[in-house]
Amino acid sequence: MKISLLEPIGVSKALIEELSAGLKAQGHEFCYYDTKTTDPKELIARSKGSQIVMIANNPYPAEVVEAADSLKMLDVAFTGIDHIGLDAVKRKGVMVCNAANYSNQTVAELVIGLTIGLMRKMVAADAATRAGGPAAGLMGTEISGRTVGIIGTGRIGLMTARLFKAFGAKLIGYSRSVSKEALELGLEYVSLEQLMEQSDIVSLHVPNNAATKGMIHADLIARMKKTALFINCARGPIVDNAALAKALEEGKIAGAGIDVYDMEPPIPADYPLLHAPNTILTPHVAFSSEESMIRRAKIVFQNLYAYLEGKPENVCEL
């Protein structure tokens, strides 16, 4: 069987060699490309003859799926799968497996980092210090005692909730299903409208799909407190980001920490959030740490071995 890893996955070539050694020992052909590409023609060429294709978070569009005649399984070194041509995948009956849970800690820690950065005015404090300025106007606030609204209480949402609880926050949540672990943490489930109205900090943790696209719209943003913060380390299209930027510009909410956008970075110069006040923006790095990249690599290679043994793991519902 031919197995092709189409792009780097954030770990050393030595680790790739170590993890793929068993595939070669079983007589499979393993191809590794150490450069990224988003060119469909190049992706088609790299996928040619492969029964299993491994990708990370770069697009694998429908035209590539359709052209990959031998494709049986897509092994995605990422949690989300919205960057794949899913309609084509369904038509062809291709199995999709992901790297579930590899980035839970890493994403949750960035949520906390963005929150503290905003609450302690770190960007302004850094600028003032470098300019030789005083500390006037830089008094911050604490997480302790604040109400944190967790939208989506899956694994990443739960990890984020645990960290906020450690800081002394009150937890409320909204999710399509109730998590026993969330209840044990003391999280109270409320409606989405109530969450937006009551939270001092809102943190988003749902996937991007037909049901969630545009989920956080202007009317919901308008329900937020003027003192509230909005943190998005999930997916950009879940939010009406133009409405979010407008709320920030008009002082309707206090600040935002954003890692994801309506497109993958680099972000166009006229994108509204780039010019909104009281924001900390990062270029879709929430999932990325040395530790998470190693976990991810081990998970996606385990996916391969499990599939080849006829016992697939981390199979995504399409």
Would you name the residues annotated as active-site residues? 235, 264, 284
Helix (H) or strand (E) holding 155: helix 155-166
Quick one: which of 195, 202, 111, 103 has its CA closest to 155? 103
Assign 208 to helix, strand or coil.
coil
Assign 229 to helix, strand or coil.
strand
Quick one: which of 289, 265, 271, 298 has its CA closest to 38? 265
293: left (phi over 0), alpha (psi -120 to 50) or beta: alpha
Helix (H) or strand (E) holding 156: helix 155-166
Q: Which distant-in-sequence residues (6+ apart) come within 8 Å of 183 by Cβ?
A: 189
